């Protein structure tokens, strides 16, 4: 199935990635066979488009026969440049629209931390509203990176911990328990991480979270908890990342160091580069430390390094997201049956007759139809 994009303007870059520029303009109340997923994109201006592309491609690869309709939302309180404000104005809806609707699922992205405390971030109040809304108005919600730390802090008081160095690289994860989200996912697989903080396993389990994957190098990755109506899924890592995402982040951090915007020279991402590429990056880093200047940034060997990269996390990431979409489909069907049964019970229809009533009625209508062609079309 195609991932449909609920955006008014066909100028958006994602339309070039769909087979026919698939656009989904239908009210949320008339969903049909599609499941509606909201992307609440809190990334910086520079990462807005790449985040859209990463998650669109991952959902498209995972969907299979599931029809997905993707809706974009932005937190107006997220600091943006003039370009960023214009971009989200053209292609995104505001959080007010989100809070007045319901969706089958949402994906809430993280952002670079700006404040020492999450509650001091400029968007904190809005983020807390989103988390509360999602517990009642989604079947399941995915939180990524910093959004993970915000969700567990707001809902359960679980605090993040500052790491001594950035957790940066591709790390082996081990499944710690059976769960539908991990169906057909290898027992051990690798996922990219890029963060300065973490939430810890003991704090999470004390508050009722179930840890699904864990890494000896990176700690907890995926964990879940039922929050009222919604299964909340948290990734401290980035299963959605593209092959070059970590390279781009390292290049950005190196540029900040060379320009004097950051006094810490970034560490090379671990378990990401092959031997030749790592030697190339080590040599550049040593030169940056000994001859720090903005002009050196032009020599960053991005093209040469990109040729040496491989993506080892795509398959498990696709399976995890496939399982998430299937979970939403199954839960939505179950809830639909529950609503139907409640309506029939309210109408005083005995349980042993409910199935026959529902099946017989359409047949009777078809038998009375004056147009034989109608039966063939149905």
Work out the widest C-alpha separation in the chain, in whole angstroms: 87
Active-site residue flag, 337: no
pLDDT at residue number 112: 84
* Options 145, 193, 198, 222, the catalytic residue: 145
Contact 105, 69 (CB under 8 A): no
Burial of 15 (0-12, 13-18, 19+ CB in 10 A): middle
For residue 364, pLDDT over 60 is answered with no
Question: CB of 27 within 8 A of CB of 89?
Answer: no
pTM as predicted: 0.87
Catalytic residue among 121, 240, 242, 249: 240
Section 83-94 average pLDDT: 96
For the segment 120-147, the average pLDDT, to the nearest whole number, is 97
Residue 243 predicted with pLDDT over 70: yes
Summary mean pLDDT of the chain: 89
252 annotated to bind ligand: yes
Close Cβ partners of 52 (under 8 Å, ≥ 6 residues apart): 13, 14, 39, 41, 72
Range in 28-37, 223-232, 245-254 the model is least confident about = 28-37
The tens digit of pLDDT for each residue in 12-64 reads 999 888 664 455 554 454 456 899 999 999 999 999 999 999 999 999 999 99
Active site residue 161: no
Alpha-carbon 249 to chain mean position: 18
Residue-level pLDDT at 33: 82
Sign of the alpha-carbon torsion through 223, 228, 231, 232: negative
Q: Identify the three-state secondary structure at position 4.
A: strand
Q: DSSP letter for 313, please.
A: S
DSSP letter string over 150-217? Answer: HHHHHHH-PPPEEEEEEEEEEEEEEE-S--GGGTT--SEEEEEEEEEEE--HHHHHHTT-EE-EEETT
Q: Which domains does the chain have, with CATH numbers?
A: 3-239 (3.40.50.880), 245-306 (no CATH), 325-369 (no CATH)
- Segment among 221-225, 319-323, 326-330, 362-366 with least mean pLDDT: 362-366
Catalytic (active site) residue 238: yes
pLDDT at 336: 72
Catalytic residue from among 71, 193, 234, 238: 238
Query: Under a CB-based contact definition with an 8 Å cutoff, are residues 2 and 22 in contact?
Result: yes
């Amino acid at each position: 199935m195609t991932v449909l994009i609920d955006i008014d303007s066909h100028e958006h870059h994602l339309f070039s990635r769909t087979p026919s520029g698939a656009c989904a303009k239908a009210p949320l109340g008339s969903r049909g066979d599609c499941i509606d997923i909201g992307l609440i994109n809190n990334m910086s201006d520079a990462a807005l488009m790449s985040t859209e592309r990463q998650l669109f491609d991952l959902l498209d690869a995972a969907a299979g026969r599931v029809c997905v309709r993707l809706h974009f939302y932005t937190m107006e309180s997220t600091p943006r440049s003039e370009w960023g404000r214009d971009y989200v104005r053209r292609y995104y809806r505001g959080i007010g629209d989100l809070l007045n609707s319901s969706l089958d699922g949402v994906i809430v992205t993280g952002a670079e931390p700006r404040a020492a405390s999450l509650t001091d971030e400029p968007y904190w109040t809005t983020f807390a509203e989103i988390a509360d809304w999602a517990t009642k108005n989604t079947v399941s919600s995915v939180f990524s990176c910093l959004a993970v730390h915000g969700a567990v802090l707001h809902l359960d008081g679980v605090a993040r911990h500052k790491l001594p160095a950035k957790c940066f690289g591709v790390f082996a994860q081990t499944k710690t328990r059976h769960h539908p989200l991990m169906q057909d996912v290898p027992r051990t697989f690798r996922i990219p991480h890029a963060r300065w903080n973490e939430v810890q396993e003991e704090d999470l389990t004390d508050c009722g979270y179930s840890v699904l994957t864990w890494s000896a190098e990176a700690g907890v990755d995926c964990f879940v908890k039922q929050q009222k109506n919604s299964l909340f899924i948290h990734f401290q890592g980035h299963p959605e990342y593209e092959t070059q995402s970590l390279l781009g982040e390292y290049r950005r951090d190196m540029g900040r160091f060379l320009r004097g915007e950051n006094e810490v020279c970034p560490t090379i991402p671990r378990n990401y580069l092959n031997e030749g590429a790592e030697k190339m990056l080590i040599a550049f880093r040593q030169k940056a430390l000994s001859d720090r200047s903005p002009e050196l940034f032009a020599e960053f060997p991005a093209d040469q390094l990109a040729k040496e990269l491989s993506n080892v996390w795509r398959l498990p990431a696709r399976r995890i997201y496939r399982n998430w979409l299937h979970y939403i489909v199954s839960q939505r069907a179950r809830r639909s049956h529950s609503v139907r049964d409640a309506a029939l019970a309210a109408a005083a229809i005995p349980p042993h007759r409910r199935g026959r009533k529902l099946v017989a009625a359409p047949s009777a209508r078809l038998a009375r139809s004056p147009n034989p062609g109608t039966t063939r079309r149905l």
